[in-house]
């Protein structure tokens, strides 16, 4: 008997995925519930588990394939009662992706290509391994889960690969870079690839009037973000409200928390999330979405936080933020941001949300007029906390001011409701003790 492995519906917002890597190959045994394939959505990487125990008989979709929709047959798993290895199907059942599809596809070809690497590639890999000795007892390199699986499948030594992530963390792009270099015939090229370098596609067209240029292919995340933001700007009637908040009390709260020696100390962004949650509870009409001609006002306050990653923007969600203390919010945001940048968020961790917060203050940006993230009704842009003169009557002092801009969907909110929300938010930022009640 055989069992079909089909791509499940990962989330309502996920229409198609890219099949990143097969964790099992034809002829490999697999247990029910064991990860067998990894796919890439527009936001994250998801492991698909085997529905049954047996042997992978036929792989129907090759690694590197884009646009795979829910319900697509991915592989056939055969029962193996005798414990004998099932002969893999012909290689035509799982064609090797063309190298023209880029470095990610090259990895798919190396793993799912149903054959060994050419001798030149094997020699290049061998030279890479011996050209950079690693001392005994050295700590294990820090790498994302998908990078470790890719390296294991391709026979790469993580200890000699330089990561481009935070703190030297090795990510998927770093493995792609080394694998792309191994396609060359000279070992030196593979050694050179160990150093970080941008993944670009050089233009082969003649230089235009503006000089030569380079084209950078879009990741799935950036492609979907571009489409959604274009649609949002074209179809959502935006209006914008801006208010300046005194940030001294909020910054003082953060400084006090740091002195307390907590395991995870809150940041100004965490205070903003909590203040926004309390403001939405006070002005519930803003805790809403647009749904085909009707407005949905939600009971739960689920705040999405815009996070920049190497693949693009993603918005993990702090659910029930109005019911969580500042310390709990700090721990949750730290974990969500880390998983977002590793590409390991689950669909339920970034789907939904009733408002988004985008903070560019750490880059010195004073004001941010963000685009609403449909179907949410508003997004709050946070600028830098900057020292400025403060006039109170006839007295001038110096204080820290933070510009906060609300972008809202006029189909859902009127200007007065948006103003009430910003006024409440400003009150909580300037008097954070109110959030302890």
What CA–CA distance (Å, rounded) separates 92 from 80? 23
Name which residue leads in pLDDT, 387 or 136.
387
Structure confidence at residue 134 (pLDDT): 40
pLDDT band at 136 (very low <50, low <70, confident <90, very high): very low
On whether the CB atoms of residues 210 and 199 are closer than 8 A, the answer is: no
Q: What are phi and psi of 138, to 5 degrees?
A: -70, 150
Given the residues 410, 427, 430, 435, the one annotated as active site: 410
Percent of the chain with pLDDT over 70: 78
pLDDT single digits (tens) 280-308? 999 999 999 998 889 999 999 999 999 99
Q: Is the pLDDT assigned to residue 191 strictly greater than 60? A: no
Average pLDDT estimate for 138-152: 72
Instruction: List the one residue out of 176, 418, 390 whose CA is nearest residue 285.
Output: 418
Q: Is the pLDDT assigned to residue 77 strictly greater than 90? A: yes
Candidate from 140-154, 156-170, 255-269, 324-338 with smallest mean pLDDT: 140-154
CB within 8 A of 338, min separation 6: which ones?
none
What CA–CA distance (Å, rounded) separates 65 from 111? 13
DSSP E strand stretches across 248-311: 288-291, 294-297, 303-305, 307-309
H-run or E-run covering 201 = strand 201-202
Q: Is the pLDDT assigned to residue 120 strictly greater than 60? A: no
CB within 8 A of 423, min separation 6: which ones?
243
Alpha-carbon distance values, 163 to 18, 137, 166, 167, 302 (Å): 23, 20, 8, 8, 34
238 catalytically annotated: no
List residues bridging with 62 in a β-sheet.
none
On whether the CB atoms of residues 64 and 107 are closer than 8 A, the answer is: yes
Structure confidence at residue 56 (pLDDT): 93
Alpha-carbon distance values, 126 to 119, 186, 190, 399, 424 (Å): 10, 11, 10, 61, 63
Task: Please state, rounded to an integer, the average pLDDT across all residues of the chain.
Answer: 80
pLDDT single digits (tens) 79-119? 875 554 444 443 333 333 333 333 333 423 333 333 344 44
Structure confidence at residue 305 (pLDDT): 96
Average pLDDT estimate for 205-212: 62
Angle between helices 248-259 and 326-342 (to 10 degrees): 90
What CA–CA distance (Å, rounded) separates 66 from 69? 9
On whether the CB atoms of residues 248 and 256 are closer than 8 A, the answer is: no
Q: What are phi and psi of 174, to 5 degrees?
A: -70, -40
pLDDT single digits (tens) 212-263? 888 888 777 788 888 889 989 999 999 999 999 999 999 999 998 888 777 7
**Which residue matches tokens 């030297």?**
168
Structure confidence at residue 81 (pLDDT): 59
Cα end-to-end span (Å), the chain: 62
Structure confidence at residue 10 (pLDDT): 81
> Which three-class secondary structure state does DSSP give residue 345?
coil
Query: What are the structural domains, with CATH classification, of the chain?
Result: 2-112 (2.40.50.100), 119-200 (4.10.320.10), 233-436 (3.30.559.10)
Q: What are phi and psi of 156, to 5 degrees?
A: -95, 150
Chain-centre distance for alpha carbon 295: 29
**Number of residues assigned to the chain:** 437
Q: What are phi and psi of 19, to 5 degrees?
A: -80, 110
Instruction: List the one residue out of 114, 94, 97, 115 whose CA is nearest residue 106.
Output: 97
Q: Is the pLDDT assigned to residue 424 strictly greater than 70? A: yes
Average pLDDT estimate for 189-205: 48
Sheet holding 378-392, edge to edge: 238-246, 395-409, 378-392, 355-359, 303-305, 317-318
Q: Is the pLDDT assigned to residue 42 strictly greater than 80? A: no
Torsion of CA 30, 34, 37, 39, to 10 degrees: 170
What CA–CA distance (Å, rounded) separates 227 from 16? 14
What CA–CA distance (Å, rounded) separates 360 from 404? 11
pLDDT band at 264 (very low <50, low <70, confident <90, very high): confident
Structure confidence at residue 261 (pLDDT): 72
What CA–CA distance (Å, rounded) separates 63 from 75? 12
């Amino acid at each position: 008997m055989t069992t079909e492995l089909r791509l499940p519906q990962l989330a309502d917002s996920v229409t198609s995925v890219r099949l990143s890597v097969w964790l099992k190959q034809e002829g490999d045994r697999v247990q029910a519930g064991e990860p067998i394939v990894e796919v890439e959505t527009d936001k994250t990487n998801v492991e698909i588990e085997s529905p049954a125990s047996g042997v992978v008989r036929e792989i129907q979709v090759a690694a590197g394939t884009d646009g795979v929709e829910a319900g697509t047959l991915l592989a056939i798993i055969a029962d193996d009662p005798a414990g004998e290895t099932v002969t893999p199907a012909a290689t035509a059942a799982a064609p090797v992706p063309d190298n023209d599809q880029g470095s990610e596809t090259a990895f798919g070809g190396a793993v799912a290509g149903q054959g060994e690497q050419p001798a030149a590639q094997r020699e290049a890999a061998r030279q890479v391994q011996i050209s950079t000795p690693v001392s005994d007892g050295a700590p294990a390199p820090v790498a994302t889960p998908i990078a470790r699986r890719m390296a294991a499948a391709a026979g790469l030594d993580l200890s000699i690969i330089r990561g481009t992530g935070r703190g030297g963390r090795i990510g998927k792009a770093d493995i792609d870079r080394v694998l792309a270099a191994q396609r060359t015939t000279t070992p030196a090229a593979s050694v050179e690839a160990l150093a970080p370098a941008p993944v670009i596609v050089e233009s082969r067209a003649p230089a235009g009037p503006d000089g030569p240029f380079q084209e950078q292919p879009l990741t799935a995340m950036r492609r979907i973000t571009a489409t959604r933001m274009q649609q949002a700007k074209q179809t959502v009637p935006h209006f914008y409200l801006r208010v300046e908040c005194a940030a001294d009390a909020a910054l003082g709260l953060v400084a006090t928390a740091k002195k307390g020696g907590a395991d995870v100390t809150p940041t100004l962004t965490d205070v903003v999330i909590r203040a926004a949650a309390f403001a939405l509870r006070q002005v519930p009409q803003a805790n809403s979405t647009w749904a085909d001609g009707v407005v949905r006002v939600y009971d739960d306050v689920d705040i999405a936080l815009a996070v920049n990653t190497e693949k693009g923007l993603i918005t993990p969600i702090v659910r029930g933020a109005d019911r969580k203390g500042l310390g709990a919010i700090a721990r949750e945001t730290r974990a969500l941001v880390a998983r977002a940048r590793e590409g390991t968020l689950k669909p339920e961790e970034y789907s939904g949300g009733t408002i988004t917060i985008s903070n560019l203050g750490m880059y010195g940006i004073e004001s941010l007029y963000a685009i609403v993230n449909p179907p949410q009704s508003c997004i709050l842009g946070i600028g830098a906390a900057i020292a400025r003169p403060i006039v109170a009557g006839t007295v001038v002092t110096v204080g820290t001011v933070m510009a906060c801009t609300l972008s809202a969907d006029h189909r859902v909110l009127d200007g007065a409701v948006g103003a009430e929300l910003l006024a409440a938010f400003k009150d909580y930022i300037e008097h954070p003790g109110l959030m302890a009640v």
